Amino acid sequence: MPRGITQEQVNEAADTVVAAGERPTVERIRAQLGTGSPNTVTRMLDVWRQGLSERLRQTNLLPELPDEVGQAMTALWAQALHHARTQAQQELQAEREALQRATATLDTRASEQAAQLSAAEADRAKAIEAAKLATARAEAQQPLIDRLQSELKAQAHERERLVAHYHALATSESRLRQEIQAIEARAARERERWQQHVQAVENRSHAQVDQARLDLKAARSELVETRKQHREDQHAQQQRIAELTQALSRSEREASRQHGIAEALTLKLDRGSGTNKAKRKRTTKAAPPRTRRGSGR
């Protein structure tokens, strides 16, 4: 804190400023002392000026000077003193006006700061009230949040179960496809074998027609029986392929239905996660494309 100043300190500082050839102003006295409020320095500087006038009057009473010289010096000094007082009063008035302007500025700033402080207090009160309201709402919604979290966990478990079931169906579908492909391959080989057998029988019959006409009837009978057996076997294979195709179609429909259920649960789970402000990444695998095969001959 600034320390107090005395009249003697102000007097010495003013004498020092005058001795330096400068006018003793409030700012120069404060700069010389390094402390002091403008009002205090102004008041003490007025006292110094009054004392200076008395000291100058005492100087005019020197007995060594002749009367004419003393009177001339007195008149000259009075004129200088009047000029100094006038200039000092003007400077003092300017300093007082500057001080008044500074005081008005400080008052304005204080009023603005007080208004800002009031507004800040009002905002703080509103913020506290809003925080209390938000806390109350959060506490009221906590049971709902807990229930939603429990439902989300249950739905996540159900979704995992459906995904596992979907994968199992996909595996079963793949196995059925492989079995159908194996049956079709066996049927193709069987058709080729029977065709080769029929061709061999026909070739053998043609080769022996000129030598054994009597065996032609038996060979033809054997050929008819062979073709009949082939048609029966082929018919049985076609029925098996049709049954496997129907089973595959049912598996595809079931897989599509389970995939739709999984997507619905995933959508519901994602919406629940949005309500709880915790997004989850969607991991549902796309269903394989459905294919249909016609029965082979």
3-class DSSP string for the chain: CCCCCCHHHHHHHHHHHHHCCCCCCHHHHHHHHCCCCHHHHHHHHHHHHHHHHHHHHHHCCCCCCCHHHHHHHHHHHHHHHHHHHHHHHHHHHHHHHHHHHHHHHHHHHHHHHHHHHHHHHHHHHHHHHHHHHHHHHHHHHHHHHHHHHHHHHHHHHHHHHHHHHHHHHHHHHHHHHHHHHHHHHHHHHHHHHHHHHHHHHHHHHHHHCCCCCHHHHHHHHHHHHHHHHHHHHHHHHHHHHHHHHHHHHHHHHHHHHHHHHHHHHHHHHHHHHHHCCCCCCCCCCCCCCCCCCCCCC
Mean predicted confidence (pLDDT) in 32-37: 89
pTM of model > 0.75? no
Mean model confidence pLDDT for the chain: 81
**9 pLDDT more than 90:** yes
pLDDT for 127 equals 87
Comparing 38 with 58, the larger pLDDT belongs to 38
pLDDT for 297 equals 39
Per-residue pLDDT tens digits for 53-102:
677 666 555 555 565 655 666 666 667 666 767 876 787 788 788 878 87
Mean predicted confidence (pLDDT) in 243-272: 86
pLDDT for 279 equals 55
Q: What percent of the chain has pLDDT over 70?
A: 80
Per-residue pLDDT tens digits for 130-181:
888 888 888 898 998 888 888 888 998 898 898 898 888 889 888 888 988 9
Mean predicted confidence (pLDDT) in 14-31: 89
